[in-house]
Structure 1
Amino acid sequence: MTGRFPIEDVSPVVSCGRYPAKAVVGEVVPVAARAYREGHDALGCGVVWRGPDGAPRPFTRMRPGEPGQDRWHATIRPDAVGMWTFHVEAFADPYLTWQNAVTKKVAAGQGPAELANDLAEGARVLDAAAPLVPAGQRERVVAAAAALRDGDRPLSQRVAPALELADLLWDHPVRELVTVGEEHRLWVDRERALFSAWYEFFPRSEGAVPATVDAPARSGTFASATERLPGVAAMGFDVLYLPPIHPIGRVNRKGRNNALTAGPDDVGSPWAIGAAEGGHDAIHPDLGTPEDFRDFVAAAAERGLEVAMDLALQCAPDHPWVREHPEWFTTRADGTIAYAENPPKKYQDIYPLNFDNDPEGIRAEILRVVLHWVGEGVRIFRVDNPHTKPFDFWHWLIGEVKKVDPDVLFLAEAFTRPAIMHGLGKIGFTQSYTYFTWRTSAAEMREYCAELVAAADYMRPNFWPNTPDILHETLQHGGPPMFKIRAVLAALLSPSWGMYAGYELFEHVARPGAEEYLDNEKYELRPRDWADAEARGRSLAPFVATLNRVRRENPALRRLRNLRFHDIDNPALLCWSKHDPDTGNTVIVVCSFDPREVQWGNTTLDMPALGLDWHDRFTVHDELTGTSYDWGQRNAVRLDPYLQPAHVLTVRRPVPPAEAPPAAPTGPADLTVEAVPDDLSGGTAPTTPAEKDDARWSS
């Protein structure tokens, strides 16, 4: 920093500037700083920012925040992918100093003689301001300076033209004693880095034929998996994530349900990468050829789906790297290569890389592999267990890849300690898996989301209710209502969310004593009859499609920073909103955490967070039922887990005062009790415990 005035606590700044903050194209990025000066003269602050091309963007004036805190705020909106820079400047504002002094002196009754110096000083300030304003406004400034010097005019007429320039000279200030703060970086990604809907399936299961007594199992292929693309697209997803598609090792191959011994028809875990057919740059021959993969990627793109590939930096014992580069692994005392362990779990079919042995060789090879797939049209990588590899490696790799293609995105699959998850976001990972799955109460979810919003400058969450590895007990026992509840929470709290295939079929049977699926697809082919499930009405796909449609149609849901929670008097319910000031779009969600019982609650909305005044009434439209309600600050809601476990409300318009209904004569002030919607399926809700239990796994 160089200059007269202190500039402190600038944001967004990550790790004291060691890493760039993050944003996406078109995102409103808040910039703040603490700045102050001696005495009573006015201070001004502004943001000076430049795009990736080095070209300066318009000077953005900062406004003071809470009085007495010397905190200044502004927003910038980057419009291109790449590395942006910004710094804060503080300056003496002679016009604002003059305006404050003259306004007070005139109000105190001082006349022209007493204000002679002030009038002359004001004229000199305006002389300096004239060249700074747009050409079309210059005459106003010159005329105001002349008025200040015109002793024949009454005092009010001499001063008024200069005071009327306040807005103009706020945007185009005279700046003296300019202090230049430190330069900071902002990496800007494409929109999908923040806003995305992911769907995961195993290509080998789509169109697969399980083994029979008379015939061996037959894997699905990229061609057969293409037939599933319309169903995925119809649910509104835009990212299709594929587990590893590489050859699978035969040495120490795992059997079904993670059995140590594989049978002749067992296909093995895709994460045990590498065999005689090749390694990380090869395709499993059962899935097809490289040309088949390119056709699959193209077919997905035609349906609005971008293919994401798994990047798992580990090897099966028969991976070519093990033979060609044994130094890339850890050798134990008995001379064997160490397999992966996470006690008590053992992964005998996987060898982890040792980045301390020939780090330059490993880095070069992995960069080659990643750029190979970028060349095949892959722009998104879901990275398996990144927290088990060196952080400086990831910082280097992500940076090198973005030099080649800045649109490449990386999702960190790291269910680990908070500091490590945050650290991975800081060093460059685009998105991150989260603890969403294990936040099972409204209070826990509210607290966790507040933590994520506070880290929005560098960590972008992706909420998944299930993965091939994770089937939480809430889904094991909560029935279809819980599947709906967790989908609402994931899709509408976070700008990015995802689900693993089978979620829409309510798959919920766990391996005894484990938090994962029985007959896990990681170890066997699992074809599903999607058409039959939908024909019998046993699919959540239409509900998921509605959630993704709401996400696409409401700009407020594309952001994380605008997440606001509202008070509700039932701890089983969570109420939140997102508001987009540019479009005026506002979404309010009230969601139950109870999959069994009807829950009532009364909201107390933070109306300014909705872009409304405290007294406003407005119409909300429920996107799940099509019902509209008249709402205000306080509203009663009723959520039935079997009929409607959540309200997803778009704010349509404030109700004009003349149209507003009369206030209720009794009860809590301004309470609006909504109508109870009919059963969405046209039936009757279960009422007895037995009926509810029978209905839990029905549609």
Structure 2
Amino acid sequence: MAEAATHNGLAAFGEGRQRVLIEHVTPQVDAGHYPIKRVVGDLVTVEADIFADGHDVLAAVLRVRGPADQSWHEMPMTLLGNDHWRGVFSVETIGTYTYTLVAWIDRFATWEHQLHKRVEAGQEVQVDLLIGAALVDEAAAHAPDPVAATLHGFAAALRAGDAEAAFTPELARLMSLHLPRQFATAFERELHVTVDRPLARFSAWYELFPRSAALEPGKHGTFMDVIARLPYVAELGFDILYLPPIHPIGRQFRKGKNNSVTALPGEPGSPWAIGGPEGGHKAIHPELGTLEDFHELVAAARSYGLELALDIAFQCSPDHPYVREHPEWFRARPDGTIQYAENPPKKYQDIYPFDFETSDWQGLWYELKSVFEYWIAQGVTVFRVDNPHTKSFRFWEWCIGSLKRDHPELIFLSEAFTRPRVTYNLAKLGFTQSYTYFTWRTQRWELAEYLLELTQTEIKDYFGPNFWPNTPDILTPQFYPGHRSVFLTRVAMAATMMASWGMYGPVYELMQHVPAQGREEYLNNEKYEIRHWDLDDPNSLRTFIARLNQIRKTNLPLQRNANVRVHPVDRNFALNEQLFAYSKTTDNATHIILVVVNLDPEQVQSGWVQVPVDEWHLGATYLAHDLLRNERYVWQGEYNYVSLDPATMPVHIFRLERQEELPR
């Protein structure tokens, strides 16, 4: 009985001769429950603490399986010191990669290490050579014939007393390949990487309302009008043209101008009040055009290097076919009416939210997923999702996971202006990018803190920030005075702090800034009326925005969120809180971008910006090339003077170049 109990107790330990431990593996998200995220061409650096009892030499490999691989590929890991190891692999195709680690006692390397010490000490090693010969013979038994013959030759040399043969690099290489890994330890889980196309990380979004794209004031715009607008959007340098919902708009409780609860005759209503007699989420507003017109728009956008992004808003007007056909998908009130959407004090009587606790939740899930599938079939691969934080987390994990298994090229932008944990969780569940709190960060300290949070914590492995200075719903107070410098600095920071950014136009480049009474949104908002915009307004920021996007496309550090740092700018031996300086570099700092922004919309601000010249190997003299104004300054040493006037140009975007790069 005692022996049985002992045996049963040992069984819980598995293979007791596995002596190697693998701990603190990075990167992984929530203990591997969610994948990390990368884009095609990235290197994934995996680190771990790997150790064992005693003084034996260890070996470790990184095992990787790509989307189409049937078996593992192995890359050796390197000991960095203090039991900390690193391995690297590249991701070359979109889809899901899997990785894990295996480590073991390297019997040959341990033997070789001990033999080397004995030889140096002048000790007798004949028995040690026989032990090594047996190891080599063991490896030969597991090697193909030509290699086995070579190994047997090494074994014979060792038996003959040739200690030098033990230290031959070729023998070490062959032994690492063919000596069986006794009692190897595999990491306890397989980890995953979602690999997206490069547009998932580096993108510039431009939002416009199709119904406001008509050439003539007072007319309802069409898809053909949007096609005519494409050269303008391409000229600005954007990659993605995002359209608010293009579906029929409900009649009941239709909102009027400036969110009036009663619409006047002829007022178009909010595009987010989806659904009418013409159809719902798979239908097109008849005044925008036909499905054939939409196909023509998708194709035309691609000819200009643009991808079309559609808004997916899972909510319904009271006139949506779903309300009639599936009343069980909505929450009924005691008086028999359906609960409309609310975000007190805001009320959206023209919108019914779905009830994700409905008894027919499976039917609802499949139908909502089919909305994505319908528009994917029409050529759309980029989606902006409205208020995903008000829908079931489990739904998003299932829906996005299912869609990306069949269409790994898809990109999902989350409009989740909510609590940080909710926002970040949506990213873990599958959203590629997300709106952020950038527009509410206005002080130097909070901009710096937020930039470092997004780029230097574990968030960077799964969260794709997209900085927007404005949206149709958001006009923050810094814009209310209408300072041109604020429009310049906010758009410059959005475009350079993050690899992905977006803006709602043409209201931004035309510097619209009058808020609705008591709300952080625009007066005479396009959400409730058709507007006409003068794109040729001489005060437009179109040239500046086009230059920003050109700078982004020709400077690699701005295409990633890596290697970010914040720099102090001193004035009179104290930090100047009105000057915000930050840099982004390539991994080896061969390409350095330094941005300095004057946050004061009225006063000239100056100071001495600190540059890590030794770390960046810039030398005693180097060039600061202002890419916005195409001006060059020769800088020296660690501190250099900058001065920015909001009345002229409140931003520097410098490319720092070493002395050997200076023009002669």
Scaled by the length of structure 2, what TM-score is found?
A: 0.87
1:573 shift after superposition? 2.7
Rate the CA distance shift 1:223–1:131 in 2: closer, same or farther, 3 A: farther
**1:54 aligned onto 2:69:** yes
Q: Which runs of 5+ in 2 are unaligned?
A: 1-13, 571-575
Gaps of 5+ in 1: 211-216, 662-699
**Is 1:643 equivalent to 2:644 in the alignment?**
no
- Is residue 380–residue 408 contact of structure 1 (8 Å, CA) maintained in 2? yes
The answer to whether the Cα contact below 8 Å between 1:94 and 1:174 also exists between their aligned partners in 2 is no
AA of the residue aligned to 2:430: G
C-alpha change, 1:148 and 1:192, in structure 2 (3 Å) is same
From 97, 101, 108, the equivalent of 1:88 is 101
* Structure 1 residue 476: Cα displacement: 2.0
The residue type paired with residue 278 of structure 2 is E
Q: Secondary structure at the match of 1:285?
A: coil
Amino acid at match of 1:509: V
Query: Per the alignment, do residues 94 and 446 of structure 1 end up closer, same or farther by CA in structure 2, a change over 3 Å counting?
Result: farther
Give deviations 1:368-423, integer Å, cap 9, x for gaps: 22111111111011000000011111111112222332211111100001110011
Structure 2 counterpart of 1:198 = 205
Contact (CA 8 Å) 1:557, 1:578: kept in 2 or not? yes
Alignment check: 8 A CA contact 1:618 1:631 kept: yes
Does 2:347 align with 1:346?
A: yes
Q: Is the 8 A contact 1:604 1:633 kept in 2?
A: no
Q: Which amino acid aligns with 2:299?
A: A
SS of 1:85's partner is: strand
After superposition, residues 52-201 of structure 1 pair within 5 angstroms as: 52-56=67-71, 58-65=73-80, 67-68=81-82, 70-94=83-107, 96-97=109-110, 101=114, 110-111=121-122, 113-114=123-124, 158=164, 162=168, 176-181=182-187, 182-201=189-208
Aligned twin of 1:359: 361
| CA–CA separation in structure 2 for the residues paired with 1:295 and 1:520 | 28
Secondary structure of the residue that 2:509 maps to in structure 1? Answer: helix
Tell me if structure 2 keeps the 8 A contact 1:6–1:36. yes
Letter in 2 for 1:353: F
Q: Report the Cα distance in structure 2 between the residues aligned to 1:391 and 1:416, rounded to whole angstroms.
A: 14
Cα deviation digits, residues 482-536 of structure 1 (max 9, x gap): 11211121111111100000211111111233211111111111111102x1xx2
Q: By how many angstroms is 1:286 displaced? A: 0.9
In 2: Cα distance, 1:123 partner to 1:448 partner: 60
Against the structure 1 CA distance between its residues 565 and 172, is the aligned structure 2 distance closer, same or farther, given a 3 Å change threshold? farther
**1:32 maps onto 2:50 in alignment:** no
**Which has the larger displacement, 169-178 or 350-359?**
169-178
In 2, Cα distance between the equivalents of 1:32 and 1:465?
37
Q: Classify 1:654/1:53 alpha carbon distance in 2 versus 1 (closer, same or farther; 3 Å).
A: farther
Does the Cα contact within 8 Å between 2:135 and 2:179 map onto a contact in 1? no
Q: 1:472 aligns with which of 471, 476, 482?
A: 476
* 3-state DSSP of counterpart to 1:419: helix
How far residue 55 of structure 1 moved from its aligned partner, in angstroms, is 4.0
Could you tell me which residue of structure 1 aligns to residue 32 of structure 2?
Answer: 17
What secondary structure does 1:410 align onto? strand
Question: For residue 602 of structure 2, what is the aligned residue in structure 1?
Answer: 596
1:120/1:148 contact within 8 Å kept: yes
Distance 2:392 2:338 in 1: 20
The separation in 1 between residues aligned to 2:474 and 2:126, in whole angstroms, is 78
Superposed, 1:661-676 pairs within 5 Å as none
Query: Given residue 464 of structure 1, which amino acid in structure 2 is its aligned partner?
Result: W
Are the equivalent residues in 2 in contact too, given 1:24–1:81 (CA < 8 A)?
A: yes
Q: What letter corresponds to residue 548 of structure 1 in structure 2?
A: N
Structure 1 residues 488 and 37: CA distance shift in structure 2, 3 A? same
Match of 1:435 in 2: 437
Offset of 1:198 from its aligned partner?
A: 0.3
Q: C-alpha distance in 2, partners of 1:603/1:118?
A: 63
SS at 1:374 equivalent: helix
Contact 1:93 1:175 in 2 (8 A): yes
Q: Is the 8 A contact 1:141 1:162 kept in 2?
A: no
For residue 634 of structure 1, the aligned residue among 638, 644, 656 is 638
- Aligned CA distance change for structure 1 residues 410 and 596 (closer, same or farther; 3 Å): same
The answer to whether the aligner puts 1:373 opposite 2:369 as a matched pair is no
The 1-side partners of 2:620 and 2:240 are apart by 39
Shift in alpha-carbon separation, 1:260–1:188, aligned structure 2, 3 A = same
Query: Who is 1:404 aligned against?
Result: 406
C-alpha spacing 1:614/1:234, structure 2 compared with 1 (3 Å)? closer
Counterpart check, 1:518 vs 2:506: no
Does the 8 Å contact 2:482/2:511 carry over to 1?
Answer: no
Correspondences of 1:231-270 after superposition (within 5 Å): 231-270=232-271
Secondary structure of 2:412's partner?
strand
The question of 1:494 aligning with 2:498 is answered: yes
Contact 1:46 1:90 in 2 (8 A): yes
Matched residue of 2:357: which SS? coil
> Per the alignment, do residues 391 and 632 of structure 1 end up closer, same or farther by CA in structure 2, a change over 3 Å counting?
farther
The verdict on how the C-alpha distance between 1:140 and 1:599 changes in structure 2, with shifts beyond 3 A counting, is farther
- 1:648 Cα deviation after fit: 1.9
Deviations 1:595-626 (A, max 9, x none): 22222333334468x7x348675444321122
Distance 1:351 1:55, change over 3 A: same
State the alpha-carbon separation in 1 of the partners of residues 642 and 128 from structure 2: 65
Identity of aligned residues (%): 46
Per the TM alignment, residue 54 of structure 1 is displaced from its structure 2 partner at its CA by 2.3
The match for 2:486 is 482
**SS of 1:198's equivalent?**
strand
Q: Tell me whether 370-379 or 591-600 shows the greater mean CA deviation.
A: 591-600
User: Which shifted more, 29-38 or 300-309?
Assistant: 29-38
Call closer, same or farther: CA 1:632–1:118 in 2, change over 3 Å: farther
SS class of match (1:530): coil
Q: Find the aligned partners of 1:626 and 1:313 in 2 and give their Cα distance.
A: 47
Distance 1:203 1:238 in 2: 17
Q: How far apart are the structure 2 equivalents of 1:254 and 1:187?
A: 41
What displacement does 1:122 show? Answer: 6.2
Tell me: CA distance 1:588–1:148, structure 2 relative to 1, closer, same or farther (3 Å).
Answer: farther
Range 163-172 or range 229-238, more displaced: 163-172
| Correspondence 1:273-288 to 2 at 5 A | 273-288=274-289
Return the alpha-carbon distance in structure 1 between the equivalents of residues 545 and 378 of structure 2: 30
| 1:294 equivalent in structure 2 | 295
Secondary structure of the structure 2 residue equivalent to 1:382: strand
Distance 2:599 2:180 in 1: 56
**1:254 positional shift:** 0.8
* Cα displacement (A) at 1:547: 1.6
Q: Quick check: 1:566–1:606 contact (8 Å CA) kept in 2? A: no
Secondary structure of residue in 2 paired with 1:15:
coil
Moved more, 597-606 or 519-528: 597-606
Instruction: Say if 2:562 and 2:585, in contact at 8 Å, map to a contact too.
Output: no
Deviation at 1:469, TM superposition (A): 0.7
Q: Kindly state the Cα deviation for residue 221 of structure 1 after the two structures are TM-superposed.
A: 0.7
How many residues align? The count is: 638
Instruction: From the superposition, tell whether residues 104 and 231 of structure 1 become closer, same or farther in structure 2 (CA, over 3 Å).
Output: farther
The AA in structure 2 aligned to 1:520 is N
Partner of 1:6: 21
1: CA distance, partners of 2:231 / 2:129: 73
The 1-side partners of 2:435 and 2:135 are apart by 55
Confirm or deny: 8 A CA contact 1:125 1:174 kept in the other structure: no
Change (3 A) 1:524 1:456: same
> Aligned residue for 2:315?
314
After superposition, give the CA deviation of every residue in 1:100-146 in whole Å (9 maximum; x if it has no partner): 5566667xx622x4455666666776777899999999999999888
Q: Deviations over 1:448-501 (max 9, x none)?
A: 122222212211111101001111111223612111211121111111100000
1:94 Cα deviation from its structure 2 partner:
4.1
1:628: Cα distance to partner? Answer: 3.0
Contact 1:235–1:548 (CA<8 Å) still a contact in 2? yes
